[in-house]
Chain A
């Protein structure tokens, strides 16, 4: 299923202030906000809606700290424009209730915790992709579906989430536990 589903509504532009009135569905509820077109989904979440769980690491799609789920698929919110994401079901870490969270604590999957919301959202998206049979660069036989989520697969599939504290081993352990 393509990520780019059709928008259900077109934004109403407020010509006086050059902002656009939009409605975003965040963690199951509708949020109305007035944003300039250049506001990223990341900034909309953090600055306009006070949902500061999602982090800004690089603001250029190079670290994954801003990973959120849109209709169950993981994206980098820093490169997403808020105006493009109306009518989509957006899940942030504030809306996550998943065994991964407790697993991360148990396996020491974080130190400072800054990359952690992105790691967890990304892992949830990753598990869904794997369940659908999506291959990764680590998948030996591309034509096969599924396959086991071994260390190499987990690391490759999670390669879009950097951790400067180096908690990778704990992150992989947490994911492996939950994936079983």
Chain B
């Protein structure tokens, strides 16, 4: 892994100031994706700002029933939360079906949103990959693309987005709150990730100096009856070939409300 400087931010202001003032800085929380990508030489930040001391670990209910989840809440804590399990079971299930318990204990909500594809051509330095090296081509197209996306693709990239949690968040119309030295922005999760188009290396609408601070879940009554199903090559601990998040309301034999979101098949959740 390439050398880097490490600092632990004592507060949000310091974290935002540091990333705004310097080049090639990345935030570090759980590290379950970033550390791996750095070891693979795909990410090479000059500085890592550890944000685990920031006060972003709450799960609180707002007056209108919205659940505000801090960006540093661990995946396992979010999935185990009683309010999440009763009001948004699809979200708890999606998280529990992802990764392993050890990884879910380390990974954070913010980091899960920012995780990068598991496409083998992205990881393989000998392969052409427009996401890893802009303009180099895409060996996945016409290659071993069984796990690749079929929706939202372009002639430059067919990499699937791997997050299960994000699929559930899209179903629930969650909103991502981000902050920088310029202030706070709110982005609907459905607009947070970008389609590859001709710039597959730019995956989200986050500015380089923005920090995800929270994800807000609006009240969604139909979500009380929701599920997440995942199809994959193993019974556990594997990414989705295809997954679906669904919420359904039925009254007197008639479907009155339905929501569906797909995972494993698209370039964004």
Which of B6, B8, B72, B97 is close to A2, meaning CB atoms less than 8 Å apart? B72
8 Å CB contacts to A: which residues of B175-218? none
* Among candidates A4, A64, A160, A161, residue contacting B72 with C-beta atoms closer than 8 Å: A4
Chain B: CB-nearest residue to A129: B101
From B6, B38, B99, A20 is in contact (CB under 8 Å) with: B6
Most chain A beta-carbon contacts within 10 A, residue among B6, B38, B39, B77: B6
Chain B residues with Cβ under 8 A from A40's Cβ? 35
User: Taking the complex as formed, is A74 at the interface, i.e. its CB lies under 8 A from any CB of chain B?
Assistant: yes
Q: Which residue of A lies closest to B5 (CB)?
A: A37
Chain A: how many interface residues by the 8 Å CB criterion?
A: 48
Query: Please, which residues of chain B bring their CB within 8 A of the CB of A161?
Result: 100
**Among A18, A36, A75, contact of B105 (Cβ-Cβ < 8 Å):** A75
| Nearest chain A CB to B165 CB, angstrom units | 13
B103's contact among A11, A133, A160, by CB below 8 Å, is which? A160
Please provide the chain B residues from 34 to 72 with a CB less than 8 Å away from any CB of chain A in the complex.
35-36, 38-39, 48, 50, 52-53, 57, 72
Task: Assess the B76–A129 pair: CB atoms within 8 A.
Answer: yes
User: Is chain A's interface secondary structure helix, strand, loop, or mixed overall?
Assistant: loop
B13 sits at the interface (CB 8 A): no
- Band of interface residues on B: 35 or more
Give the shortest distance, in Å, between B251 (CB) and chain A (any CB).
Answer: 22
A38, B38: Cβ atoms closer than 8 Å = yes
Contact call A38/B237, Cβ cutoff below 8 A:
no
Query: What is the distance, in angstroms, from A66's C-beta to the closest C-beta of chain B?
Result: 9
**Is B79 part of the binding interface, using a Cβ–Cβ cutoff of 8 Å?**
yes
A4/B236 contact (C-beta < 8 A), A38-B4, A143-B89 known: no
Complex Cα spacing A80 to B28, Å:
11
Chain B residues near A75 (CB-CB < 8 A): 102, 105-106
What residues of chain A lie closer than 8 Å to B258, measured between beta carbons? none
Q: Which residues of B contact A132 (CB under 8 A)?
A: 80
B93 in the interface, Cβ–Cβ < 8 Å?
Answer: yes
Q: How far is the CA of A148 from the CA of B74 in the complex (A)?
A: 24
A111 at interface, CB cutoff 8 A: no
Given the interface pairs A129-B76, A160-B103, the reply to whether A137 lies near B93 with Cβ below 8 Å is yes
- Which chain B positions have C-beta within 8 A of A165? none
In the complex, which of the residues B102, B105, B235 has the most CB atoms of chain A within 10 Å of its own CB atom? B102
Q: CB within 8 Å of B: which of A97-134?
A: 122, 125-126, 129, 132-134
CB pair A84 B50 closer than 8 Å: yes
| Alpha-carbon gap, A102 to B67, bound state (A) | 45
Docked-complex contact B8 and A159, CB < 8 angstroms:
no
Which of A73, A143, A156 touches B85 (beta carbons < 8 Å)? A143
Contact between chains at B39 and A4 (CB < 8 Å): no
Which residues of A sit under 8 angstroms from B6, Cβ to Cβ? 11, 13, 20, 37, 81, 83
Contacts A2-B77, A75-B106, A129-B76; is A137 near B32 (CB within 8 Å)?
Answer: no
* Interface 1/0 per residue, A76-98 and B, CB below 8 Å: 10011101100000000000000
Instruction: Quote the shortest CB–CB distance from A76 to chain B (angstroms).
Output: 5
A162, closest chain B residue (CB)? B237
- The answer to the question of A57 belonging to the interface, with a C-beta cut-off of 8 Å to chain B, is no
B10 an interface residue at 8 Å Cβ cutoff?
Answer: yes
A137→B80 contact, CB < 8 A: no
Beta-carbon contact of A4 and B30 below 8 Å: yes
The 3 closest A-B pairs by CB, nearest first: A160-B100, A159-B236, A37-B6
Contacts A/B (CB < 8 Å), 18 sampled: A2-B57, A2-B73, A3-B74, A11-B6, A18-B5, A37-B3, A37-B4, A38-B3, A38-B38, A59-B39, A76-B106, A79-B32, A79-B106, A83-B8, A125-B101, A137-B96, A142-B92, A160-B103
